[in-house]
Structure 1
Amino acid sequence: MAARRIAQSSINWSALAERVPANQKTSFGAFKTKSDIYVRAVMANPESPPKIDWAYYKAMVPVAGLVDSFQKQYDALSVPYPKDTVSPQVDAEIKESQSEIASYKKVSEQRIQNYQKEIAHLKSLLPYDQMTMEDYRDAFPDSALDPLNKPTFWPHTPEEQVGYKSKEQIEAEKQGHH
């Protein structure tokens, strides 16, 4: 299998540079420089080795059969091109990451819709400086004070209320300690 010659880099360096964090720009620049040096070195060599003029050597070398032997060995020589065993793994990882990205996008779009509903709800409310306690109770029933149904004591934090038990106390009761 003969390797095909790549005329130019398949890497979109400008698109890749946009994704590099600011603290890694110098490392990215060094990597790109090394890559460019390698590509120039490869491109400096011809795609195929130069042809050997075997007739010239047959005429110049006095030992009979020596050039024919070299020519036969040279023609039989083939440098194997490494087989691509990694591309299927990379393709599988790409498909897996694309499905993860798609599911993340779907979940993110749902979150965005929920946040937009919350924003619309908050925009529909009266400004806080114009709200009365009753308006606040109607807008936020879970966090509003309800002195009739759920009376609380100042400073109205859960820890200061009658019957409050900490997580440690609840755990101790579950384990049978009092």
Structure 2
Amino acid sequence: MMGPANEYPWEKASEPAPAAESHLANVLRLVGTSGGSVAAVPARPSPSQDWSKLIDCVRHAAHQTRAVEAAVQKKEMHVQEVLERVREDVKSAGERVRAAEARVVEIQSRTDALLRAADERVAAAEERARIAEDWLSRVYDTIASEFGLDPDLKRSA
């Protein structure tokens, strides 16, 4: 496991070195003054109590860090799910647009064909009407010439 070089001060049964105790007192003094009020630092706290508090603070900070990481991970998963749904919606909308455009092209094509057919029928009907008028005029002229009708009657009709 851990060799003597890797041992931590709180794992040792002996008391910490005076320099470490002085450093811890400075840290506690800084922490106390950063909040706006001066914390009373005991003249000589017991070393095991200081290390216990430090371990508790580290554990609390680690717990908070894990909680924040878990919340961030949860948010990232939610964002990924929302992003995937948006991608699917965009893909679906694109497919619907393409289908609608295809229907528009098909409808336009059928409409053009129907219009051409209607134009052809109109032209054929107009041609038949012109031919019919020509024949009616010939029939009238034949009747008028054979029965001796007055040509002025033709103009008034």
TM-score range, shorter chain: 0.3 to 0.5
Indicate the structure with greater helix content. 2
Radius of gyration: which is bigger?
2
Q: TM-score, length-normalised on structure 1? A: 0.30
